[in-house]
Each structure stands twice: as C-alpha cells, then as structure tokens.
Amino acid sequence: MKGKYSKCIVVLVIALNIIFAAAVLYAFIRTSSEPSTLVASWFAFSTTELWALASIKKSKIKNSESSEVRDTDENY
C-alpha cells in the first residue's frame, strides 16, 4: 500500500497530459491557432506537481535513512 498514492498521481498527471495534448492538437487542426500560453501554463503546472511529488518522496527516503542510522547507532 505504501507509495500507491504517489504512483496514482503520476499516472493521472501523465494521462491528463496526453488528453490535453490531444485536445490542443484537435483545436489546432480546427482553428489553425495554437493556444501557446495555455500550453505553457499547463505543462508548467504538471511539471511542478510531479517535481513537488518527487521532492516529497526524496525527503521521506532521506528521513527514513537517517532514522535507520540513528537507530543503528543507539543499539551499539
């Protein structure tokens, strides 16, 4: 169960990026106009979300490793 939430978020963000890209391509074909600001904002948002999730995971791993080292040091 551990880590399942973050994996779901990553899959969701990737799926939403694919859907968004398909919708933008469809809109571009229909109107011959690319919403460049919307595209840049969307991918900046999704990249930030994934980066934040990775940072949280990294800090949890770092904290668990440091607590394991403390536990080992206390046992000796």
What integer pLDDT is reported at residue 75 of this predicted model? 58
Helices 4-31 and 36-75: crossing angle in degrees, nearest 10, is 170
What integer pLDDT is reported at residue 63 of this predicted model? 84
Mean pLDDT of 46-61: 90
Which domain covers residue 53, as residue numbers?
Answer: 4-75
| pLDDT tens digit sequence for 5-50 | 888 989 999 999 999 999 999 999 999 998 999 999 999 999 999 9
The domain tally of the chain equals: 1
Q: Is the pTM of this model over 0.75?
A: no
Question: DSSP character for 3?
Answer: T
pLDDT of 72 above 80: no
Per-residue tokens: 67: 């607590």
Residue with tokens 């106009």: 33
Of 51, 41, 53, 46, the closest CA to residue 18 belongs to 46
